[in-house]
């Protein structure tokens, strides 16, 4: 059975928060150093997830990235996606960041959706109106999720979420057709 996001939760959403490690990636890090001794950290992102994030923005939703680690790879990916609000909080102090975002935007917790995978997301996810989990989310996140992807983080979970959120809002077909129409002109 394919799980669906309840329409009443989906329609309230104005802001979507993405965790990075374990949601937009498979949680793995490639670490090493260059011949010059410079530390290197690489992450693998999924292109289809990125299209899904852009689709949310095209539909008029606000998208922010909130990571509990500081990584250049995350900054580069956010920039590529056009996500201007990318917060990287050392030691995963995500709650205070999100409280500030809501304050600045004048939003309530019920206006927010978040997809997460592990306990660094828990303090925020306990408060948001729509809680989404990747298939391989750890226990505390899986237990509170309103919706759980069938796919794992970094392997399509984020796209599954964005497609399902747009479908539940009745926007999915429109966003796809607008995208195609804008690329069908001469």
Q: Between residues 22 and 156, which has the closer beta carbon with respect to Mg ion?
A: 22
Smallest distance from the beta carbon of 117 to Mg ion, in angstroms? 4
Does the protein bind Mg ion through residue 19 (CB under 5 A)? yes
Contact by Cβ (8 Å): 109, 125:
no
Q: Between residues 29 and 176, which has the closer beta carbon with respect to Mg ion?
A: 29
Stretch that binds Mg ion, among 16-24, 54-62, 123-131, 165-173 (CB under 5 A): 16-24
Please list every residue from 91 through 130 that binds Mg ion, using CB under 5 A.
Answer: 117-118
Say how many residues touch Mg ion, by CB under 5 A.
5
Can you say whether residue 27 is alpha, beta or left, with left for phi > 0 and alpha for psi between -120 and 50 degrees? left
Contact by Cβ (8 Å): 69, 21:
yes
Q: Between residues 95 and 172, which has the closer beta carbon with respect to Mg ion?
A: 95
Does the protein bind Mg ion through residue 49 (CB under 5 A)? no
Separation of alpha carbons 117 and 110, rounded Å:
20
Separation of alpha carbons 114 and 145, rounded Å:
10
Does the protein bind Mg ion through residue 21 (CB under 5 A)? yes
- The b/e string for 43-59 (b: 16+ C-beta within 10 A; e otherwise) is bebbeebbebbbbbbbb
Q: Between residues 19 and 26, which has the closer beta carbon with respect to Mg ion?
A: 19
Q: Between residues 65 and 168, which has the closer beta carbon with respect to Mg ion?
A: 65
**Residue of closest CB approach to Mg ion:** 22
Smallest distance from the beta carbon of 65 to Mg ion, in angstroms? 11
Q: Which of 5, 9, 22, 163 binds Mg ion (CB under 5 A)?
A: 22
C-alpha 65, offset from chain centre = 6
Residue spans of alpha helices (H) in the chain: 7-12, 47-58, 72-81, 94-105, 122-125, 139-144, 157-169, 172-182
- Where does this chain bind Mg ion (CB under 5 A)? 19, 21-22, 117-118
């Amino acid at each position: 059975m394919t799980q669906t996001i309840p329409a009443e939760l989906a329609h309230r959403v104005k802001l979507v928060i993405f965790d990075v490690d374990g949601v937009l990636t498979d949680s793995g890090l490639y670490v090493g150093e260059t011949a010059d001794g410079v530390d290197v950290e690489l992450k693998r992102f999924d292109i289809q997830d990125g299209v899904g994030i852009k689709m949310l923005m095209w539909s008029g939703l606000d998208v922010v990235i909130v990571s509990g680690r500081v990584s250049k790879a995350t900054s580069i990916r956010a920039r590529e996606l056009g996500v201007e609000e990318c917060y990287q909080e050392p030691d995963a102090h995500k709650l205070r960041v999100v409280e500030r975002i809501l304050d600045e935007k004048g939003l309530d917790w019920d206006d927010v959706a978040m997809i997460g995978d592990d306990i660094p997301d828990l303090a925020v996810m306990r408060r948001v109106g729509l809680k989404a989990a990747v298939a391989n989310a750890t226990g505390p996140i899986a237990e509170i999720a309103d919706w759980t992807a069938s796919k794992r983080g970094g392997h399509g979970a984020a796209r599954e979420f964005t497609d399902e959120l747009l479908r539940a809002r009745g926007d999915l077909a429109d966003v796809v057709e607008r995208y195609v129409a804008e690329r069908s002109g001469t």
